[in-house]
Structure 1
Amino acid sequence: MSTTTAPYPIGTPDAPWGDVERAEWLSRRPRQRSYESEVLSVTERLRPRFDVEQYGRLDYGSESYPLMAIRSRDWRDNLPVVLITGGVHGYETSGVQGALQFVDQHAADYAGRVNLLVVPCVSPWAYERIHRWNPNAVDPNRSFCHGSPAEESAALMRLVAPVRDKVLMHIDLHETTDTDETEFRPALAARDGKPFEPAGIPNGFYLVDDSENPQPEFQQAVIKAVEQVTHIAPADDSGELIGSPVVARGVIQYPLKQLGLCASITSAPYKTTTEVYPDSPRTTPEQCNTAQATAVCAAIDYALAHQ
C-alpha cells in the first residue's frame, strides 16, 4: 500500500489548525456526487414498504440536508430493536449503499421478529464530498458524546435515545480505504499539529468489537458469513490491523464509548463495526455492498438466536 511522507498541503508542521487553515481545507472540498440522487431517491423508493421519517436537518451555509431513517412498518414495543447505521464517514460508500441494499433485499425477512431502525447516511455533506469529516473538519465518528461537536452525531443520538435501552444489536457499517493512509490520516495529523505515522491498510474485511464488552462468538459469526462474499484481512507482521492487536481472525477491539464511536450509542449487548476494503483488486463495489448487507443479516441472526 502506498503511504505519504510529504507534508500535508494545509497548515504548518507541528502546529494545530486555526480558522484560516480550516477555511482553506473547506475551500478544497468540492461536491463530487449527489446525496439526493444516490441516497434520498433510493430511500423514497422504500417508502411503500417501510416507514421513512426525517429525524433532523443539517444546514451548512446555503446547503441543507434532510436526515432520513427507515423503520419497520410493523413496529411493536414488545420486539427487540436492531439498529443499522451507515455513512457516519460519508466517503465510505458501501456503508451507505449496503444499508440500503439490506433494507431492499433482506429487511422483510425479519418482519415480526425485530424492530428495524436503519439510518443509511449519517453524514450526507461528507457523502457528497467523499470525505471523512463534516465541513467544520470534525470527525463525526469521534463525536458520539455529551455536547457533541458534530450535529450529525447529535442528531443520531437524539433519534436513538427513546429506544437506546431496547436495542439488541447495533451494526455500524464502515470502510477502510487506501485514501485513509494518503489523505485522511495525514489530514488528521496536520489538523492536530502532530506527526503523521503510517499504519498501513488492512487487505480485506475486518470488524471492530467493543473492548469493554467483547462478544467474540458474535464477531466470528459475522466473519464466517462475510468471507463467503469477500476476503478477510490477515494480521500484519506485528499481529495487528491498523495498529491494534488482532484478537481473533478479522477482529480488533476499541473502547467504543471512550473514543466516542457510533457503535457506543446504545446499551446493546451485541455491537460491531464493519470495515470493508473497497480498493482491493479482488472486490467490486457490488461485492462490497453485498458484504455489508451480509454482515447485517449474520449479526441479526446471531443476536436473535442468543438473546
Structure 2
Amino acid sequence: MILAPYPIGTAGRPWGEAEIAQWRAGQRRRRSYADDVLRAIDGLRGRFDVEQYGELDYDGESFPLLAIRNRERSDALPVALVTGGVHGYETSGVHGALQFVDRHMADYAGRLDVVVVPCVSPWAYERIHRWNALALDPNRSFRAGTPAPESAALLRLVAPLRGRVLVHVDLHETTDSDETEFRPALAARDGKEYAPDAIPDGFYLVDDTTNPQPDFQRAIIEAVAKVTHIAPADPQGCIIGSPLVSPGVIEYAFVELGLCAGISGAKYTTTTEVYPDSPRATPQQCNDAQAAAVRAAFDYALAHRDD
C-alpha cells in the first residue's frame, strides 16, 4: 500500500503547536457522547452506582467522566476493573463495556468490587479518533505527570484501589484506519518515516511482558473463540510486529509504554483487540466478544485468586 504524504507538517520534522492546531481544526464531531454513552449510563443508574471521577474541558466543550460500580461493595472484596474507549474510535470497547454492565455485571455482586469505565476519552469518541484534542495518545500516557487529562483522571480514580485490584481488562480494537490514518499521522507528528504493517483479521490479546499470565490469556481466547474468530499470525509469526507467544496472544511492556492495562498493579491484566472491519464480524459480534472477554477474565481471576 502506497500512501500520499501526510497532509500536515514537514517530512522528518516533528509537529509543533501550529501543526497540532491545524490537525485539531480538521477534526469534526461525528457522533454524540451524550446520546450514545451518557444516555446508556443513565439507564443503568437504577441497578448500579455511577460515579463522576473527573471532567474534560476542551475549548468550552465539557465531558463528564463516569465510572459504574456495583452497589454491594466491601473493602474485603477484590476489585475488578474494566476500561473502554481509551482510544475513542474503538467503538466496541465502549459499547462492549456497557453491554457487560447491562447483562452480566450483577452476576459478580458480592464476589468482586467491579469498576467499569466505559469511555475514557469522550472527545475522541465523538471525533472517532485515536488521539485526544492535544494530539496525544492516551494509551501511551498513563504515567506520573502525564499531559493527557483523560489518563490523569483515570490514574486518580484507580490510585486508591491499587493493592486490591485482582483483574483489569482494557477493551480495544485494531481497525483498518490504523493503517490509513492513525499510524501515518503518528509518524508525521513525530517526524518519523511511516512503515506500513498488516492489520490482523480477528480477535487477539496483549499480555504484559513483565507479568505474563499465559493460562489467563488462554482462558479468554477460548471463551471469545465461541463468539468470533481469533486472529492468526502473519507469515513472520507476528501480530502487528510482535511475535505470537500463544494462539491469539502477543506481549507488550504495559507500564514502560504507559498503557492503560498497566495502571492497576493487578495480578491478571490484558488488553483486548477486536477487528471490526472484518467481513466475518458484525458490530454486535464485536460487542459480544468484548463482553465475553470480560466474563472469562473475571471467572478465571476468581477461580485462581489464591494461586
Q: 1:255, 1:114 → 2: CA distance?
A: 27
- The correspondence for 1:66, drawn from 64, 67, 71, is 64
Give, as a single letter, the amino acid of the residue that structure 2 aligns with 1:109. D
1:190-223: per-residue Cα shift (whole Å, max 9, x none)?
0000000011101100000000010000000000
Q: 1:233, 1:141 → 2: CA distance?
A: 22
- 1:292 equivalent to 2:285? Answer no
Cα offset for 1:267? 1.2
Give, as a single letter, the amino acid of the residue that structure 1 aligns with 2:149. E
Give, as a single letter, the amino acid of the residue that structure 2 aligns with 1:240. C
Alignment correspondent of 1:186: 184
Alignment correspondent of 1:37: 35
Say if 1:89 and 1:126, in contact at 8 Å, map to a contact too. Answer: yes
Alignment correspondent of 1:303: 301
Alignment correspondent of 1:234: 232
Alignment correspondent of 1:199: 197
Alignment correspondent of 1:81: 79
Cα offset for 1:149? 1.3
1:134-155: per-residue Cα shift (whole Å, max 9, x none)?
0110000000001011000000
Alignment identity in percent? 69
Cα offset for 1:164? 1.3
Cα offset for 1:4? 4.3
Q: Helix, strand or coil for the counterpart of 2:198?
A: coil
Alignment correspondent of 2:100: 102
Q: 2:248, 2:162 → 1: CA distance?
A: 28
1:134-153 pair list within 5 angstroms: 134-153=132-151
Q: Helix, strand or coil for the counterpart of 1:190?
A: helix
Q: 1:164, 1:41 → 2: CA distance?
A: 30
Alignment correspondent of 1:20: 18
- The correspondence for 1:271, drawn from 269, 272, 285, is 269
Say if 1:90 and 1:131, in contact at 8 Å, map to a contact too. Answer: yes
Q: How many residues align?
A: 305
Q: 2:2, 2:65 → 1: CA distance?
A: 35
Give, as a single letter, the amino acid of the residue that structure 2 aligns with 1:252. I
Alignment correspondent of 1:249: 247
Q: 1:173, 1:164 → 2: CA distance?
A: 20
Q: 1:176, 1:298 → 2: CA distance?
A: 21
Give, as a single letter, the amino acid of the residue that structure 2 aligns with 1:13. A
Give, as a single letter, the amino acid of the residue that structure 1 aligns with 2:101. V
Q: 1:131, 1:71 → 2: CA distance?
A: 27
1:117-128 pair list within 5 angstroms: 117-128=115-126
Q: What is the TM-score when the length of structure 2 is the normalising length?
A: 0.99
Alignment correspondent of 1:113: 111
Alignment correspondent of 1:157: 155
1:236-261: per-residue Cα shift (whole Å, max 9, x none)?
00000000000000000000000000
Q: 2:123, 2:244 → 1: CA distance?
A: 33
Q: 1:19, 1:147 → 2: CA distance?
A: 20
Q: Helix, strand or coil for the counterpart of 1:106?
A: helix
Say if 1:4 and 1:181, in contact at 8 Å, map to a contact too. Answer: no
Q: 2:96, 2:30 → 1: CA distance?
A: 20
Q: 2:188, 2:102 → 1: CA distance?
A: 40
Q: Helix, strand or coil for the counterpart of 1:165?
A: coil
Cα offset for 1:5? 2.6
Give, as a single letter, the amino acid of the residue that structure 2 aligns with 1:153. S
Cα offset for 1:303? 0.3
Q: 1:292, 1:217 → 2: CA distance?
A: 18
CA-atom RMSD, angstroms? Answer: 0.6
Q: 1:267, 1:141 → 2: CA distance?
A: 16
Give, as a single letter, the amino acid of the residue that structure 2 aligns with 1:261. L
- 1:173 equivalent to 2:190? Answer no
Say if 1:81 and 1:169, in contact at 8 Å, map to a contact too. Answer: yes
Q: Helix, strand or coil for the counterpart of 1:23?
A: helix
